[in-house]
Amino acid sequence: MALRTASRALRQLSRQANGIPSGAMRARPSTRGYATPTMGQQNRTAIVTGSSRGIGKAIALRLAQDGYDLCINDIPANKSGADEVVKHVQGMGRRAFPYMADVSNLKEVEDMVQASVSELGPLNTMVANAGIAQVKALLDLTEQDLKRMFEVNVYGVFNCYSSAAKQMIKQGNGGKLLGAASIVAFKPFALLSHYSASKWAVRGMTQAFAMEMAEHKITVNAYAPGIVGTAMWDLIDEELGKKKGAKKGDTIKKYSSELIALGRTSVPEDVSSTVSFLCSPDSDYMTGQTIVIDGGIIFT
């Protein structure tokens, strides 16, 4: 008896330590149904931000293969890329439409969520993938550099998580929120300091959203790619090369051979297959996690 009381007190303490309201934890696991299993695998819808190219495009194509209908978002400058992704998805037999919006603007993100619901139906999944990078020494950073990095990478993820969550709560069937973090959310890269700090913020916000959204049956997770050969790394490679006197292409080659245990640069599909899992019912019992997919750079 005394043993049972002590173990109940211990459980209570651990809930409090994790910041989980005792009421939320009292619900038995069997009372929690997530949107994906109850609605089945068919007719799910997702918004993927920054999906005209790179990792976002690979995620959109993989989710289409998984049976999702899609809102393909990017900035107006990348509209033609977004249109091509839409055509590709439609060719796979799924519904898709392009929506140009800047994720750093809350109103534009709210309008995008509403457009997705009108065009495709209830929103099941938001993938806040859009992001920017900049290579610059800490002491050269301007106020504007720091501001823009956080506007896109941090406010952008907040705008996507919060607008999608409000819609999902209205629908009453739960849902899934995903954000793009990075290995630099675990250990910063020199000369990518404000980018690294923005990705730490994504990881922190993902944990905080997971706590507050659990009672609405919404799970919140982030993915943390390593060195992926996209336009973003072309820029990082070129800028780091300029600073260190290396030729174009040499920095990414050096980093890949010296840092990655599996010995090759990542491709977007390495990331999209993990995101597919995080968007599927198979991950329904995961929330607040940031999953590293880097071929073995950071060991968590």
Q: Which residues are catalytic?
A: 195
End-to-end Cα spacing for the chain: 39
Q: Pinpoint the alpha helices (H) of the chain.
A: 2-17, 22-26, 35-39, 54-65, 79-91, 106-120, 143-150, 156-171, 193-213, 231-244, 250-259, 268-278
> How many CA atoms lie less than 13 Å away from 44 in the CB half-sphere?
28
Contact residues for ligand NAD (CB under 6 A)? 49-50, 52-56, 73-75, 78, 102-104, 129-133, 152, 156, 180, 182, 225, 227-228, 230-233
Q: State which residue, 112 or 210, has the beta carbon closest to ligand NAD.
A: 112
CB of 258 to ligand NAD, least distance (A): 16
Q: State which residue, 122 or 156, has the beta carbon closest to ligand NAD.
A: 156
CA dihedral sign, ordered 59, 228, 81, 203: positive
> How many CA atoms lie less than 13 Å away from 2 in the CB half-sphere?
0
Q: State which residue, 13 or 231, has the beta carbon closest to ligand NAD.
A: 231
CB of 213 to ligand NAD, least distance (A): 21
Question: Which among 158, 90, 163 has a CA at the least distance from the CA of 120?
Answer: 90
SS3 110: helix
User: How is residue 287 written in tokens?
Assistant: 């929330």
CB of 7 to ligand NAD, least distance (A): 42
Q: State which residue, 161 or 233, has the beta carbon closest to ligand NAD.
A: 233
Q: State which residue, 34 or 155, has the beta carbon closest to ligand NAD.
A: 155
Tell me whether residue 285 is exposed, middle or buried, using C-beta atoms within 10 angstroms of its C-beta: 0 to 12, 13 to 18, 19 or more: exposed
Q: State which residue, 215 or 269, has the beta carbon closest to ligand NAD.
A: 269
Residue 214 gets which letter from DSSP? G
> 272 with 62: CB under 8 angstroms?
yes
Cα–Cα distance, 163 to 279 (Å, whole number) = 18
Write the single-letter amino acid at 29: P
CB of 58 to ligand NAD, least distance (A): 8
CB of 16 to ligand NAD, least distance (A): 34
CB of 31 to ligand NAD, least distance (A): 35
